Structure 1
Amino acid sequence: MSDLTQSHNEVIEASWKRCRSFGLNPKSAPAIIRLNKGDWEDAQGKSRDLIVTTQEQVLPYYENILVNSNSLVLLADSSGNLLSRWGRPGFINQMESHLFEQGTSWLERFNGTNAVGTALQTGESVVVGRDEHYLIANRYMTASAAPIFNSERELVGVLNISSDAYLPTSHVNGMVKVMTQSVENQLIMATYRQHYYTLVFNNSEDNHTSQWAGLLVFNDAGEIVAANRRADLLVGHVLKGLNIEMVTGITTLKLSAHPENQTLSFLGISNYRLFGTLKRPLTNMIRAPQSPLSSVKIKSEPKPTKIASGERQLSDLDLGDMKMQKAIKRAASVANSDIPLVIQGETGAGKEVFAKAVHASSDRADKKFVAVNCAAIPTELVESELFGYVKGAFTGANNKGSMGYIRQADGGTLLLDEIGDMPLHVQARLLRVLQEKAVTPLGSTESYPVDFRVISATHQPLREAVFKKQFRDDLYYRINGLTLFLPSLSERSDINALVIHLLDGLTVGDSPPISNEVLRLFEQHPWPGNIRQLVNTLRVALALSGGSMIHLHHLPDDFFLDLETPSEKPEATPHEQIEMTPSLVVSWRESLPELYSATEGNITRIAELSGVSRNTIYKRLRELGIK
């Protein structure tokens, strides 16, 4: 059973437990609790923008699909009160008609487990199958719902699609998520479009303006004042409050001068190549006070920085660390073959940079390198994003269809980052593509031949996932021609050389000097965020130093927080407590195997008991040949 299924089951089980605590009986009818006239008018007024945005700007794009699928759309406010509904499928005649009147509550305490109430309770998208409804009276329909957040990330409502038809729940849930994000995007645009710059972006040129794109808003000082959740996910950071230059690697001045509706490409702090379109304010900008980060520019950029170009070869990554040298040497020996590679390393250790270097060092270097972050694509959309689809292939599909990432990589290299997060049914289709060297888009009967080098990346051991039945063993042996292990930053012996290398790549022209005291602290730092954290630290330091020598006071505050040692360790819960016998407190070579066995391989717990970092535990386990 996958983690996704376990998570879903846990959500339903927790909801049923709450229903029992409310005193509900599965055989009882839903309680009809409605707002009085005055409270309803207040609720309606408070949610007017939400209602109008959903009805006038989002639903028209999906109306035909919904009519044909015998579906009912419900919009509720943050208190679970029904604001509006669209569609009238036959199954609602089987239900109490007052349930669908405006102002009726759909909270779990009155209506049992249901998509609207449970989505409000969890703050996440929810699918509730027929028999998963707590009340038997509601078990003739399936429902998917997702919460809606405004530009300030406040939960303002829930959008729900219910149906009595046996529709694929993955597509319906995907459609709810896309519609919800469309509503959120419109709310953000309504708040900021008049006076602020907006950047719509995604991880492919083909979909960077789709409904599932990231959206951020920034002022003329470069400060990001709002962003949707998709944008945070694509970049890997909470974007609000950051400077646009840190995020894109492009100066605010240069970005604001970019032509509208012309695609731009950037790397920035995400370490993934992203594609976007800029829109300027509709009226004159409201100038915000300059923050320290936004007021100090690194340098104007006549050309992209060397890191942004991403054209480094394997030899450029050799800075003296023996573990990196081993990985580089092995990768170089098979660079011109089609042997599939698996790159394993902690999050932020530079797996995509390494994969790009393999591509740049191969005879496919003049072809396209396509990176797909499997963890960043909603589960319901992974299949269509990878394999593509034809017009009308499923609910919510783009009218023009989509080529898909695999066909985009034809002739070049395809990186499947965090491949361990790929759903099992998608793994089966990928295996077939790798075996047949052809891909069939969703909704099509035509296959297209493809030729690409596949590189997979993961932060988790795929062997363990195979053992747990979370990853197909046949696909594992297909993609695992050679596994390369990248060390975490705290394990590397070449940190000083790496810092100089990164500074050179982050600047145009000569890179600024860096003080010895900063370099010494860099060597002592645990770097839980690995190279990604180091790059971000250097970006901030460059901005604050203005291109002069980098000193301690130019480093961000959270850099120093990681250096602090906690005064006391958290108390272990009873089931985690392990008796520390004399045999467990001798040298680590003797104690570690016993600790590993006693904790069932819980690295975090072993680190707590040993008083060292998780990275150190991983390092020692590898030395002992345990992991």
Structure 2
Amino acid sequence: MGQLLPAGGRELRVTEARRRFFEEGACPDGVLPTEVLRSWLRCRDAGVDYQANGRGDPEGRSGLADARERSELLLNNASGVMEHVFEQIRSSGSMVILADSQGMILHSLGDPDFVGRAQRVALQPGALWNEDMRGTNAIGTALVEAAPVEVIGAEHFLDRNGILTCSAAPVFGPEGGVAGVLDISGDSRSNQRHTLGLVRLAAQLLEKRLFEIQHAREILVAIHTRPECIGGLQEGLLAVAQDGQVVGANGIARALLKQLPVSLEGLDFSAVFRLSFGAFMDRCARDPHALQALDLRAGERIFSRLRAAGPLVGMSRAGARADAGESAARTQPGQPAKRCNRHSGEITLDCLATGDPRLQLALDRAARITGKDIPLLIQGESGVGKELFARAFHFSGPRSDGPFVALNCAAIPESLIESELFGYVGGAFTGARREGAIGKIQQAHGGTLFLDEIGDMPLGMQARLLRVLQERCVTPIGGQRQIPVDISLVCATHRMLRDAVKAGIFREDLYYRVNGLTVTVPPLRERSDIRSIVAKILEVELGDTPRAGQVRISEQVLDFVENYPWPGNVRQLQNVIRVAAALLDDDETEILPVHLPEELFGADPMDDAESGRQQAAVPAGGAEAAAAALASPSMPARSLDEIELEAIAAVMREVSGNVSAAARRLGISRNTLYRKIGRMH
């Protein structure tokens, strides 16, 4: 940045420089920062009118939704950073702004008194602030310069923007290109020297988050020439695959290793450093937190530390990697793996790994943000196990010894959700307990707050929740004192929150606050690991009973389970296995089709909806006829009723006409069996 003039006469000199530049064509050398002067010259050469009113935006709010969707990852991760920055400048007459790589403003937070003034110059979401549209300005000029920029008052190219002072820093994506811009804008009369430094730090923090999320499945290695910089925002980051290939590097790492003759990406670790990757990981395994000195091939020494081990299980002395079947465990070097305790609920993300690639991706990404102040949003259909995922996330991180507090926003009446969430003081309302009550947020202090079905939270509660998340304090109903809270936030929903925002039933600012990292739990019908799920459910159901380890599930039932659509997802499957295990006789050790609940195979024959029953290729019986029907899908077509009646007849023969025994075998009530038998005569 060029040398600035003393503050006393600076404004007058810039004003005079403007007059000479625009009226006489004189170049104001020594008056403006060099990057601002370069921008003035670009804008003049491009024919930008300095007296333009700034309107005529070709995109405007009509293109905002598309721009936000294109920059979803940037937007989701920037929201928390922006809130933190805004807390530092609150009540200073300023606003924090995020723009995309084209200069369109995506999101802003600001003091209400300044936001109104900013809107008069179109400094608002949906407006384009590149140099072609707005001339010299911090957002557009930072994009062109690919460097932090400060533009104060009359340094703006357009006359009408002289009321602003703006400091902006580009945000570089994981691949090295400019992904967007963070900006702090305020009144030109209240410029603060620290603002540019604050926005630069915020951009570095955001870049670090983006890099970590992009490389959630790789091993991250922090590097720097100075050991005191390891662990701070100044550290370089390398993403290394398990085979030792460098697959990513942040901007600082690129700068530190700029002497390499070729691009970092695609190089083997040992081509950069005088140490094999296996040997480096062996060192880390002995002391994962220790700094490791690494000698570059070019001769210089740098310092490093293993930042995150991704899905890596372990590394032998020779550098051989664990096989793919074990890679889901993600045990960090030097850390003992946490054991699954399904009965107490203390399960970890590792416990949920059963081989499905889509679920594994969600587990790996969630594992990377444990212990970080990044909200987790879990999406998925009802019954897929979103709360189980949230609980596993909690017990996988450093807060595992703290409370896990869950609240289902859809299951509590609107009149009660406020007191449930925020608590209340004694006598706060009619019917309140004399001693008051602690709300869920306060109960989760030091641990994790899980808000299930947050998309169903009433709008009024959304505003209060947003304030709690921003200020990290909660005020109980009827209370005056704010109570500090330290929580990790996990939310879940079966809705598409972005659509709910468009429909006006979910606050946009809260959406960006809870949507730090989004993971999707796939529905059961789309998963490739159903057999593993069934085995785990059966293991839990049998628990410590004498039959544990003795009961197996027949191949016919497993085939059926893999082909059934499971509208109720894992929750429905759990109920089916629970019922099947309960229906086993004392001398039975195999779950057969006869033990499955009859509702899986269609409606009750007495129902009017009989003709619309599901087309499941399994009868309600469990004798030889039922097994044959299951195993022979190519047999001549028969109605489900015919198959069902044949199975019932076979079971009745097996039990010598004992209706009670037959009903137990078939998994139905005696009355239902009597009705079905009546149709046989």
TM normalised by structure 2 equals 0.38
- The TM-score with structure 1 as length reference comes to 0.41
Could you say which structure has the greater relative contact order, defined with CA pairs below 8 angstroms and 6 or more residues apart?
1
